[in-house]
Amino acid sequence: MADSPTDQSDHHHAGHYFSESPTTASNERTISLTLPDVVLTLTTDRGMFSPGHVDVGTKYLLLDGPKSCPSDRIIADIGAGYGPIALVLASRNPDATIWAIDVNQRARLLCQRNAEANGLSNVVVAAPEDVPDSIVFDRIWSNPPIRIGKDALHDLLRRWLDQLAPQGSAHLVVQKHLGADSLARWLTTSGWPTTRRASGKAFRLLDVAAAVPPNESTS
């Protein structure tokens, strides 16, 4: 997930939230996420992204991202953390399966607990290596982990965008000063046509179309 300025102190004390096994001592807390259509109570912990509050960019994506589509059956949240995006998507798309994917084991355990605590049974929490390559996503949502570095970020996006359905799309939130516009250009030139849905709160919301024809953009 992308960082917002208000989250920096959490990261300095929590270590890398994109670590597979955080070593910082656990210190759970409960926060709330209130949207016009969904209210969630979420348990968070140190060693993951934005444990003190739902990140501004995440909330912006959930408020101004695309509306639910009844035909969507399989949706992914890449870098799900403790679950704010995945659980909102699960609430908004009760007939869909939401894959909440994250490398961080502590975050995955909390995401599973949060799904159960909020009565959402249509969430599948998984490490990246446990997601079958054969799964095709109708939609991907993500506040991507920009700070893993450009090469690692590009590899991450290639992997998941290649699993979009032909008519599918991805929806990303990226901070302007962390390279949102250059990322959009890279996505488009790499074969995934990308447009700016909205801009505000120091963030860009990007809509990314599936590659046509599939897989040619990964060369």
Quick: pLDDT tens for 60-79: 999 999 999 999 999 999 99
pLDDT at position 214 is 44
| C-alpha to C-alpha distance for 122 and 124, rounded to whole angstroms | 7
Quick: pLDDT tens for 200-214: 979 999 999 999 764
pLDDT (average), residues 16-44: 83
Query: What confidence tier does 26 reach under pLDDT thresholds 50, 70, 90?
Result: confident
Contact 142, 79 (CB under 8 A): yes
- Token pair, residue 109, equals 């355990």
Q: How far is CA 184 from CA 55, 171, 178, 194, 208, in A?
A: 21, 11, 12, 6, 8
User: CA angle at residue 153 from 57 to 124, to 5 degrees?
Assistant: 70
Query: What confidence tier does 50 reach under pLDDT thresholds 50, 70, 90?
Result: confident
